[in-house]
Amino acid sequence: MTLKIKRSVCPYDCPDACGLLIEVIEGKAVKVSGDPDHPFTRGTLCPKMNRYQETVHSPLRLTHPLLRTGEKGSGQFQPISWKEAIDRIAQRWKEIIKRSGPEAILPYSYAGTMGLIQRNAGHAFFYKLGASRLERTICSPAKEAGWKAVIGNTPAPHPDEVEESDLVILWGINAIATNIHFLHGVKSARKKGAPVWLIDTYKTLTSTVVDHTYIVRPGSDGALALGLMHLLVRQGLIDKDFLATHVQGFEALKEKILPDYPPEKVSRLTGLPPDTLESMAKAYGRAKKPFIRLGSGLSRYGNGAMTIRTIVCLPALVGAYGKRGAGCFTSTNTSEAFCMEAILREDFMLKKTRIVNMNQIGWALNELKDPSIESLYVYTSNPAAVAPDQNQVLKGLAREDLFTVVHERFMTDTARYADIVLPATSSLEQSDLYRSYGTYCIQRAKAVIPPVGESKSNWEVFCLLAKAMGFEEPFFRQSADDLIDHLLSIPSPMREGMDQKTFQSGKAVELPLPKDARTKFRTPSGKIEILNPKEPHPLPHYFPPYGGNGPFYLMTAPSFYALNSSFRERTDLRRKERAMFLKMNPADAEAKGLREGDSVVAFNSLGEVSFLLRITPGVPQGVVVAEGIWWLEHAPGPRSINALTSQRLTDRAQGSTFYDNTVDVRKASKC
């Protein structure tokens, strides 16, 4: 028995993009730990990934292609060979293309793996096929739009700069669950005396590691930011020199917008008392290096992009963007590090095909015409669980005339509706190149174990499909490593000056930040654009989110023990989470006659979902919280969280609005 230790990268949709050390014995991963040489991971992993080998070698892994034998959704299949699976798919697609054209075929993918090759493996194939295109906006495009409207392409600070801050604000981020390694720098700042604030809609686990938690009404943060700016002006705590040199539109904001946001009004909108607003503004204005870490949750509302845009203006008033250890961090944009056009191959598309928004897959499967969607190919995503309006999604997936192929590691809610299921490799079984959206690290990973069962990577499957469809391009005859080598052969200014030797050795390296990141703002005007003439509303202002008729705002927050619907195969993690809970304030529970541990049903016009009730003062009145996206087989009722979320989109960038829904709650009837 020989033990080998190999390097890999955490493939999940998490800003940390940790470096992994994998202990391998006889082709099996036996232990996974954090890479001590990774600058952000520093040798520790989150509770989800500590036992990644149990996901990789789970008895639930799909090991053969499968053909449906029972009703859609029943999960009844028989094993078939890869040849039969690929032949059946190609034959069915050729028939559909002949009858209705290639736009009747729709790919559906997101971020099951973040590796640049495997995540984007289908783009070239579907462009060449002429299929409908998927608008991939389920995560946080409104956050990006809001940030860019003010800051353009200016690079975010290095995340570790937070160590130098003297006031840290975790704003709409449950960092202990979703960005745990960032807390290393936060802890250092706190040790040096910096107070740490959390601004959220309920007391998340992160509230246990901060000094103050401020609970705001859902979707009201834009008003909070305007209120704080009003007070900064009133208290004379603005940086006039910085504003005059580096900011466009402050005077207009001050004269036209801020007078409308006095503390009394902002208090009514946000639920924070006026004196709290006063003290927050004072502390923020007096801090020398205030650092905001902005999450994504608050961008998933009908006013999401405007909320982010407004918050991003706040540090400009105190000159925080000009200082190390201060400013605002939303995410790092490392997209220019690699020339992704070489992988995506949009040039394979002969005519611009129609675009379907992934948040409206429920609508598209049921309503879209000319042509209707006749085939869905799902990879690296689990739309039956993660997409909004689950009842519509499942209704669409149940269509007998829809030919669905799902390429997956596990029998997910979506795979159960497939006509053909293809087994997918895990990240340890495939090569890839990773960049991060929470750090400036990049890292290359090679397969460290052979494929489990007959599983194949996304890229391998698209090469097989390309051959079966008769695509002649040599592009489809390369390996994933060929593609990575090609990407690395294309120079990029962002990779200049990086440590090549360390990168070649398989370790993570950091892309160097430009020297002028604090003085040269990459916007059309060269200044921070509080006033942006290209926006429909040139100045930020507050408007309310969609809301709804229900008495409770529903927070559909991330789980500490899962990542979206990933990790649900893991009994150890599910046991720790215990059950699918709905959290409610004691006064609301009393008014409804509900008790701790009751079986309850949350409902609205879209659907009904069963939960176990957990009563806690950490949730304010008028709000209920459901953490995590569960697989249906583990849910107490026939639906999971997204039966309560709508397909409405954000104000800008066509994003999802997972947090912008209301519900009522009743006790489940005994049957």
Based on the shown chain and the rule CB under 6 A, indicate whether residue 174 belongs to the binding site for ligand MGD. Answer: yes
CA distance 176 to 503: 29
Q: Output the smallest distance, CB 573 to ligand SF4, in A.
A: 12
Residues 539-558 that bind ligand MGD (CB under 6 A): 555-558
Interface with ligand MGD (CB under 6 A), residue from 122, 285, 295, 548:
295
- Give min distance, CB of 40 to ligand SF4, in A: 8
Give the residue with the Cβ less far from Mo ion, 443 or 656: 656
585 touches ligand MGD by CB under 6 A: no
Tell which positions 367-396 bind ligand MGD, by CB under 6 A: 379-382, 386
> Least distance to ligand MGD from the beta carbon of 291, Å?
16
Residue ranges in 607-646 that form contacts with ligand MGD under rule CB under 6 A: 629, 641-642, 645
Query: Could you tell which of Mo ion, ligand MGD, ligand SF4, none binds residue 180, using a CB distance below 5 to 8 A set by kind?
Result: ligand SF4
Could you say which of ligand MGD, ligand SF4, Mo ion, none residue 16 binds, taking C-beta under 5 to 8 angstroms by partner kind? ligand SF4
- If the CB atoms of residues 317 and 480 are measured against ligand MGD, the closer one turns out to be 480
Question: Burial letters for 392-404: b for 16+ Cβ neighbours within 10 Å, e otherwise?
Answer: bbbebbebeebbb
For residue 1, CA distances in Å to 28, 387, 448, 542 come to 11, 45, 16, 64
Is 456 among the residues that bind ligand MGD (CB under 6 A)?
no
H or E stretch including 344?
helix 341-344
Instruction: Report in angstroms how near the CB of residue 196 gets to ligand MGD at its nearest.
Output: 15
359 binds ligand MGD (CB under 6 A): no
CB 284 within 8 A of CB 232: yes
> For tokens 């020398």, what's the residue?
288
Interaction between residue 207 and ligand MGD (CB under 6 A) = no
Please list, residue by residue across 624-657, b when 16 or more beta carbons sit within 10 angstroms of its beta carbon and e when fewer do. Answer: bbbbbbbbbeebbeebbbbbbbbbbbbbbbbbbb
Three-state secondary structure call for residue 354: coil
Please give the Cα distance from 35 to 294 (Å, whole number).
Answer: 26
Which residue's CB is nearer to ligand SF4, number 14 or number 66?
14
CA–CA separation, 124 vs 116, rounded Å?
13
Q: What is the spatial distance between Cα 100 and Cα 117, in angstroms, rounded to a whole number?
A: 31
Backbone angles phi, psi at 474, to 5 degrees: -60, -20
- Identify which of residues 106 and 111 has a Cβ nearer to ligand SF4 in the complex: 111
- C-beta of 287: minimal distance to ligand MGD in Å? 19
Q: Which does 103 bind (CB under 5 to 8 A by kind): ligand MGD, Mo ion, ligand SF4, none?
A: none
Residue 181: CB minimum distance to ligand SF4, A: 6
What is the chain's percent helix, strand, coil content, to nearest 5?
A: 35, 20, 45
- Residue number of the CB closest to Mo ion reads 139
- Shortest reach from residue 461's CB to ligand SF4, in Å: 24
**Chain contacts with ligand SF4 (rule: CB under 6 A):** 10, 12, 14, 16-18, 45-46, 48-49, 180-181, 563
Smallest separation (angstroms) from Mo ion to the CB of 174: 13
Q: What are phi and psi of 656, to 5 degrees?
A: -80, 155
Among 9, 85, 97, 216, binds ligand MGD (CB under 6 A): 216
Of 85, 89, 138, 266, the one binding ligand MGD (CB under 6 A) is: 138
Contact 139, 304 (CB under 8 A): no
Q: Which of 589, 645, 594 is nearest to 622 (CA)?
A: 589
The phi and psi torsions of 446 (rounded to 5 degrees) equal -100, 160
Q: Closest residue to ligand MGD, Cβ-based?
A: 112
Nearer to ligand MGD, 376 or 509 (CB): 376
- Could you say which of Mo ion, ligand SF4, ligand MGD, none residue 18 binds, taking C-beta under 5 to 8 angstroms by partner kind? ligand SF4
Of 198-206, 266-274, 281-289, 467-475, which segment contacts ligand MGD by CB under 6 A? 198-206
Q: How far apart are CA 428 and CA 22, in angstroms?
A: 9
Burial class (CB within 10 angstroms; exposed 0-12, middle 13-18, buried 19+) of 78: exposed
**Residue 247 binding partner per list Mo ion, ligand SF4, ligand MGD, none, with a CB distance cut-off of 5 to 8 Å that depends on partner kind:** none
Residue 51 contacts by C-beta under 8 Å, 6 or more apart in sequence? 32, 570, 572
In this structure, what token pair is assigned to residue 167? Answer: 């006031």
Query: How is the beta sheet containing 327-329 ordered, strand by strand?
Result: 212-215, 196-200, 167-171, 290-294, 327-329
Number of residues located near ligand MGD, criterion CB under 6 A: 58
The three state secondary structure string of 391-428 is HHHHHHHCCCCCEEEEEECCCCCCHHHCCEEEEECCHH
The footprint of Mo ion (CB under 5 A) covers 139
Q: How far is the CB of 11 from ligand MGD (least distance, A)?
A: 6
Which residues are CB-neighbours of 432 under 8 A, at least 6 positions away? 9, 11, 113, 115, 116, 117, 118, 444, 445, 480, 484
**DSSP letter (8 states) at residue 368:** -
Measure the CA–CA gap between 180 and 84, rounded to whole angstroms: 44
d(CA 642, CA 635): 12
Min separation Cβ 136 and ligand SF4, Å: 20
Q: Out of ligand SF4, Mo ion, ligand MGD, none, which partner does residue 298 contact, by CB within 5 to 8 A per kind?
A: ligand MGD
Least CB distance to ligand SF4 at residue 12 (A) = 5
Does 112 help bind ligand MGD (rule: CB under 6 A)?
yes
Report the nearest approach of Mo ion to the CB of residue 464 (Å). Answer: 29
Least separation in angstroms between CB 141 and Mo ion: 10
Q: Which does 45 bind (CB under 5 to 8 A by kind): Mo ion, ligand SF4, ligand MGD, none?
A: ligand SF4
Closest to ligand MGD by CB, 103 vs 221, is: 221
Binding positions for ligand MGD, rule: CB under 6 A: 13-14, 110-113, 118, 138-140, 171-174, 177-178, 199-202, 204, 216, 218-219, 221, 295-298, 379-382, 386, 407-410, 412, 424, 458, 555-560, 562-566, 629, 641-642, 645, 658-659
